Amino acid sequence: MDAGILQAAAAALAGGHRVFLVTVTAATGSTPQRPGAWMAVDETGLLAGTIGGGALEYTCLRLAAEGQAVPGVRHFSLNAREAGAVGMICGGSTDILFTPLADSTPVQAALAALDARQDVVFCLPLDGGAPCLAPRDLSCTGPALITDAPARMELPVLDTRRVFVIGGGHVAREVSRLLGQLGTRHYLADDRAEFSAPERFPAAEGVFQAEFSSLGAVFAGALAPTASDAVCIMTRGHEGDAAAVRWALGTDAGYIGLMGSRRKREKLFADLAAAGYTGAEQRITTPIGLAIGAVTPAEIAVSVCAQLIQWFHSKGGTALHGGA
């Protein structure tokens, strides 16, 4: 969840402004944003966030600024040939929820939950009523439109997707920096003290110094990778890579990426096969990252994070549930 949206809403309310949360709840066809995209607006315009920009966002901003926004869901056509369309040619349609905020109580509660790393959802009633917090349905890993009463849009306070960066070298540092800019939760581990110093990775949720053969003890329990998580292995040598790969294959991680040359890849897969690991080649993406000709650590980080974005989005968008 984007804390900046909540913070901007709270600040505007404290200043006596009329604030709306504007959220995409459904989308069909070609649209600027997926369900779950949201923004905070007041009578002066956009405070934080986005629902895709362009004519749709401008229309919603104008409705809020001019006092014409009605609490609840409003349907917008993005086909310029249809009556009542907003002048876009995307060809799809989208439902937008307008939520007026009477005070900052629900916003402050969400900020406190985010700070405490609570696995809850920020519920936005579809009738435009006051938001509230509720436990997250563990089967849902993203924004969810709940159709049973009380009908609502649920936004996870914590991003349920996580990235485990194994290795703390130059590329890992750039990957962590970019993941921080993307707002992606991530952890980092290296076996060297100087390469696992927390101040080296300020955007990481956790930084650990540990032998690569002991990763199972470090990332256990709630920290164990799930099918929604990604592992990026970029240690300084073959032994570290091999130990990290064996650990990753023993988890439920949905994505395992490994940095390395073709020769290292062939040797690793041969060693894994000899050790009895089956299906390793199907689970491991190597070389890690999209093929964009990256050379420098920063460029390689862009290719790695681009591939992570691609994989995360390939897992699907907003869920639609008939019950909580």
- Tens digit of pLDDT for each residue in 244-277? 999 999 999 999 999 987 777 788 888 888 888 8
The CATH code of domain 162-314 reads 3.40.50.720
What does the pLDDT look like over 57-116, one tens digit per residue? 999 999 998 999 999 999 988 765 544 455 545 557 899 999 999 999 999 999 999 988
Closest CA to 87 of 114, 113, 110, 58: 58
Domain with CATH 3.40.50.720 in the chain: 162-314
Q: Which two tokens stand for residue 123?
A: 């519920």
- Considering the entire predicted model, what is its pTM? 0.74
d(CA 204, CA 99): 32
Q: Which string of DSSP letters, residue by residue, matches 265-287?
A: HHHHHHHHHHTT--SHHHHEESS
Q: What is the C-alpha to C-alpha distance for residues 299 and 317, in angstroms, rounded to an integer? A: 28
Rounded to whole angstroms, the Cα distance separating 248 from 261 reads 19
